[in-house]
Amino acid sequence: MSEIQMALDALNRKGFNAVYAANAEQAKNIVLSLIGENESVGVGGSVTLDQIGLLDALADSGRAVYSTKLAARRGGDKDEMRRLGMTADVYLSSTNALTLEGDLINIDGTGNRVAGMIYGPKKVIIVAGRNKLTKNPHTAIARIKKQACPPNAQRLGLSTPCAAQGVCADCDSPQRMCNVVVRIQWPPHGKEYHVVLVDGDFGY
Ligand code: SF4
């Protein structure tokens, strides 16, 4: 059985609604079909969502979209976007890692992204490329520290050792991005929880 199928089976066994997408276009269309025309959308910081064209597609659809990335691009206050995202109908994010046991593992600096994945919006949609798959929570943390944090810190222009040297030094930098570590094992109560697993490499 492929790792993608193993992860999908584990997620669905636990009550997530997990589906396969063959490519970025299919993933985008699946996500758009899951969001009502009048539903507002909070968005966690994500390279994946941008790469598959979801941010612009959502914004152009006329839905209210609360995204710091869109705010930077189209105007708007980032803190206000984070706050409004917590009260949206839908929360859309990627995940730093997805285990073959069906766990979502994330490390966050500000905390709004992982908060939106757990509480607030009643519907959560996660989009993840196959490159986010990893065996278990331990390998997930190692993966995030090695493959996600350094390029993310560089992308965000942070003054951290991982940005400068490309490896984690478990720093005490004021701009440290590893402040909150969250393992979502099962869907939180009262949520409709979707995971779209894309057969391609997206994000870090
Ligand atoms: S602890 Fe510091 S150096 Fe390590 S990944 Fe996080 S921000 Fe980078």
Domain hosting residue 186, numbered range: 3-198
Q: In this structure, is residue 203 part of a structural domain?
A: no
159 three-state secondary structure: coil
152 three-state secondary structure: helix
Q: In this structure, is residue 204 part of a structural domain?
A: no
**Residue ID of nearest Cα to ligand 1 atom 2:** 171
Would the CA dihedral through 58, 26, 151, 195 be positive or negative? positive
Atom nearest to 172 CA in ligand 1: 2
pLDDT-derived band at 76 (thresholds 50, 70, 90) equals: confident
Other C-beta atoms within 10 Å of 196: how many? 21
Q: Looking at residue 10, which CATH number applies to its domain?
A: 3.40.50.10420
pLDDT-derived band at 118 (thresholds 50, 70, 90) equals: very high
Going by C-alpha positions, the residue among 155, 153, 147 that lies closest to residue 72 is 155
Mean per-residue pLDDT for 112-122?
Answer: 96
The CB of 124 under 6 Å from ligand 1? The reply is no
The CB of 172 under 6 Å from ligand 1? The reply is no
Tens of pLDDT along 124-171?
999 999 999 999 999 999 999 999 999 999 999 999 999 999 999 999
Q: In this structure, is residue 54 part of a structural domain?
A: yes
- pLDDT, residue 75, reads 83
